[in-house]
């Protein structure tokens, strides 16, 4: 590991950086990197009060490898904010994403079978049916919010593989509970922990977590009534707990259920929205995967193996995940004294690595802001160079599943519609847990007449991505 030049900011000077980190990480990380390089440290924000806890921002492939491949040195703490001890919020956040060590390895192993490649391929009939149920409701030439639609698709599909839900009204209610949790999390994030102070977002978040927890226990109790284990993830876990295959309490089950559901639909909805946006705004390129689909697949639903053999569609999906990765950064906490690029870290210091920043490294991706799905035809980046699903032992469990799901959604949408962004849309991307369209994504669909045309869009999206539409 080579030593890096570091830049340390603490005391009052760190306040604007901390604010930027919590409220607008995209702009904040860009500034860190432009002004000070790839190793930036935010120290104790309280002047004259000792060393305190440091936040170490380390960007690039080598940093990803060091931080993500050593789970015993850098532990995961999850993506949502903490609650006080014994609160429902504190119990619920301890799902698969936030547990560590032996417990994490055991629980992850139990969850794996429904995500294996062969199991994933068997979901195609259900996934395609659910996609059509949503796409059937799209009305030609009538603007709608694509983010709401991709949320619906991602939520229904997640509810199916995680809980075997066919009651979509109910899964929509769970989706709304989780969406509200995230909204409150974003509002309460100004403090690192949700305090129970009446009238604040923190207090509302704590009350809301109690409602979510109750809904999860109801779901678990229903699974308990099944005599035989089903194929869905929650059923597998509930029956493993019953058979005492692992130390899995009711608290663990509720936390896994909610975190899995959130991890599955929030990310996928965002990723799908961005893919739709990029297709619409890059008409010349989009016509090629469209041709690839038409000339290779005429049946619906297709076999998973047919979908695997569409390199342009694959490139399009990967390129959208590269440019606009839903999980913008991940945070890890040092378990003991260690060092990173020559910088001493103490137990409880945090390391922050970023998919967004890594994917913008010109040494890995030439002309990184440019949307260019064809770069994937002969470019196979390493596991720590392309990290929309993280990397190492905590690689996203759902990544094979979601690659197939995204291809099927995009494939079907392109087969059935011409997709456009509503003209004169103002589109900002910001991090609200995921990197997402800040205020929805207005789009309009029409008959697929073979023509493609982009529209005029304003907003920070034009700084983030160079599309055919925003090039002179």
The count of chain residues that interact with ligand HEM, using the rule CB under 6 A, is 25
Q: Is 420 helix (H, G, I), strand (E, B) or coil?
A: strand
Task: Kindly tell me which of 10 and 322 has the beta carbon lying closer to ligand HEM.
Answer: 322
Least separation in angstroms between residue 425's CB and ligand HEM is: 23
CB 74 within 8 Å of CB 53: no
> Is 276 a binder of ligand HEM (CB under 6 A)?
no
Torsion of CA 91, 93, 99, 104, to 10 degrees: 90
Tell me: does residue 235 bind ligand HEM (CB under 6 A). no
Separation between Cα atoms, residue 138 and residue 445, nearest integer Å: 8
Q: Is 327 in the site for ligand HEM (CB under 6 A)?
A: yes
Task: Kindly state whether residue 340 participates in binding ligand HEM, applying the rule CB under 6 A.
Answer: no
Ranges assigned E (strand) in 211-291:
none
Distances (CA, A) of 424 to 158, 458, 459: 33, 7, 10
What is the rounded distance in angstroms from the CA atom of residue 142 to the CA atom of residue 52? 55
Rank residues 234 and 263 by Cβ distance to ligand HEM and give the closer one: 263
Contacts with ligand HEM in 369-388 (CB under 6 A)?
388
Question: Which range touches ligand HEM (CB under 6 A), out of 186-194, 203-211, 289-297, 397-405?
Answer: 397-405
Of 89, 201, 260, 427, the residue at the interface with ligand HEM (CB under 6 A) is 260
Residue nearest to ligand HEM (CB): 398
Q: Are 371 and 323 in contact, with CB atoms under 8 Å apart?
A: yes
Q: Which is nearer to ligand HEM, 264 or 444 (CB)?
A: 264
Beta bridge partners of 74: 334
> Given the rule CB under 6 A, which of 58-66, 176-184, 258-266, 413-421 is the region that contacts ligand HEM?
258-266
Say if residues 404 and 120 touch (Cβ distance below 8 Å).
yes
Cβ–Cβ under 8 Å, residues 304 and 124: yes
163, 234 contact by CB (below 8 A): yes
Residues of span 156-185 touching ligand HEM by CB under 6 A: 158, 161
Instruction: Report if residue 402 touches ligand HEM, rule: CB under 6 A.
Output: yes
Answer for which of 33, 54, 64, 76 binds ligand HEM (CB under 6 A) is 76
Q: Does residue 330 interact with ligand HEM by CB under 6 A?
A: yes
Establish if 120 lies at the interface with ligand HEM (CB under 6 A): no
Measured from the CB atom, the residue of 389 and 452 that comes closer to ligand HEM is: 389
Closest CA to 278 of 448, 443, 450: 443
Q: Which stretch binds ligand HEM (CB under 6 A): 9-17, 200-208, 260-268, 293-301?
A: 260-268
Structural element, H or E, at residue 330: strand 329-334
| Residue of the chain from 389, 429, 444, 457 that contacts ligand HEM (CB under 6 A) | 389
Please, what sign has the CA dihedral across residues 321, 323, 324, 327?
A: positive
Q: Decide: 220 and 254 in contact? Cβ < 8 Å.
A: yes
* Residues at the contact surface with ligand HEM, assessed by CB under 6 A: 76, 79, 96-97, 108, 158, 161, 260, 263-264, 267-268, 271, 326-327, 330, 388-390, 394, 396-398, 401-402
């Amino acid at each position: 590991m080579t030593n890096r030049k570091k830049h340390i900011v603490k005391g009052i000077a760190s306040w604007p950086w901390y604010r930027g980190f919590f409220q607008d990480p995209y702009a904040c990380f860009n500034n860190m990197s432009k002004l000070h390089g790839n190793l930036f440290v935010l120290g104790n924000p309280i002047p004259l009060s000792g060393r305190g806890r440091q936040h170490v921002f380390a960007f690039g492939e080598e940093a990803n490898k060091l931080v993500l491949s050593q789970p015993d040195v850098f532990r995961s703490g999850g993506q949502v904010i903490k609650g006080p001890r014994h609160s429902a919020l504190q119990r619920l956040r301890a799902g698969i994403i936030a547990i560590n060590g032996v417990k994490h390895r055991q629980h992850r192993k139990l969850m794996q079978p429904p995500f294996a490649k062969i199991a994933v391929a068997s979901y195609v009939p259900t996934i395609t049916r659910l996609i059509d149920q949503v796409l059937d409701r799209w009305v030609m030439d009538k603007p709608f919010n694509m983010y709401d639609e991709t949320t619906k698709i991602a939520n229904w599909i997640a509810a199916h593989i995680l809980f075997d839900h066919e009651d979509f009204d109910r899964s929509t209610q769970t989706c709304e509970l989780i969406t509200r949790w995230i909204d409150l999390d974003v509002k309460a994030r100004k403090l690192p922990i949700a305090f129970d102070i009446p009238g604040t977002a923190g207090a509302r978040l704590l009350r809301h977590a109690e409602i979510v927890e109750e809904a999860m226990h109801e779901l678990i109790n229903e699974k308990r009534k099944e005599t035989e284990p089903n194929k869905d993830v929650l059923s597998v876990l509930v029956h493993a707990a019953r058979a005492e295959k692992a130390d899995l309490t009711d608290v663990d089950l509720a936390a896994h259920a909610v975190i899995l559901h959130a991890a599955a639909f929030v990310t996928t909805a965002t990723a799908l929205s961005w893919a739709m946006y990029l297709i619409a705004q890059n008409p010349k390129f989009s016509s090629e995967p469209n041709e690839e689909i038409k000339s290779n697949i005429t049946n619906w639903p297709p076999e998973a193996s047919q979908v695997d053999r569409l390199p342009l569609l694959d490139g399009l999906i990967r390129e959208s995940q590269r440019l606009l990765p839903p999980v913008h950064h991940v945070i890890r906490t040092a378990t003991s004294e260690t060092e990173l690029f020559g910088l001493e870290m103490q137990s409880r210091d945090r390391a922050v690595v970023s998919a967004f920043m890594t994917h913008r490294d010109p040494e890995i991706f030439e002309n990184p802001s440019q949307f260019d799905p064809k770069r994937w035809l002969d470019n196979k980046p390493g596991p720590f160079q392309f990290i929309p699903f993280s990397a190492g032992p905590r690689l996203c469990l759902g990544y094979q599943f979601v690659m197939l799901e995204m291809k099927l959604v995009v494939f079907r949408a392109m087969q059935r519609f011409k997709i456009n962004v509503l003209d004169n849309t103002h589109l900002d991307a910001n991090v609200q847990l995921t990197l997402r369209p800040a205020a929805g994504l207005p789009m309009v669909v029409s008959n697929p007449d073979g023509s493609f045309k982009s529209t005029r869009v304003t907003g920070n999206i034009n700084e983030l991505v160079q599309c055919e539409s925003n090039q002179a």
